[in-house]
Amino acid sequence: MRKELKDQLINSLCEEVKAYPNLYIADIGGLNSVQTSKLRRAAFRKEIKLEVVKNTLLIKALEKTGFDYSELFQVIKGETAIMLSNTNNAPAKLIKDFRAAEKNATKPVLKGAYVEESFYIGHECLEELVNIKSKNELIADVVALLQSPVQNVLSQLQSGANTITGVLKTLEER
């Protein structure tokens, strides 16, 4: 590969990494073509950019971003794919769901991730990453918490109105 082409690939990879706040590094090697196609379609549906990259080009692109990704360099070995997403837990859920859906699937394997300004190294962190709440999930939780006191007050007022109505009807009948 010519140096100019390598530089173009490094620059485009650098821009892609900068464009997304969450970076996952996985091993999808060993999947057959049908499984790879399923994984790519699932990633596309969940708005995850999945790309197989060369290790040296990825390391150079990460160095070029201006952010210190050096903790991830130790896992960039063998076959490497990156998953870029705006939703922090989407790639982790994709990996977990894909492995559960495909019988006897040992891949994809999470090598490492940079999520919510923290580094996660190794496949054992997958469950932890799945349980991180996304921004939309946190907003829904806050809205639910804000609505619950109002709903309690309204239900108390409605039950009180029913009680008063019942008492008035009973008194009227006497």
pLDDT tens readout for residues 5-18: 999 999 999 999 99
| Alpha carbon distance 60, 3 (integer Å) | 13
Q: What pLDDT digit, counting tens, does each position of 56-96 carry?
A: 999 999 999 999 999 999 999 999 999 999 999 999 999 99
Confidence at residue 106, expressed as pLDDT on a 0 to 100 scale: 85
> What integer pLDDT is reported at residue 83 of this predicted model?
97
CA dist., res. 49 & res. 130, Å (int): 18
pTM confidence score: 0.78
Q: What length is written for the chain?
A: 174
Residue 42 has pLDDT above 80, yes or no: yes
Instruction: Name residue, tokens 């900068």.
Output: 18
pLDDT at 150: 72
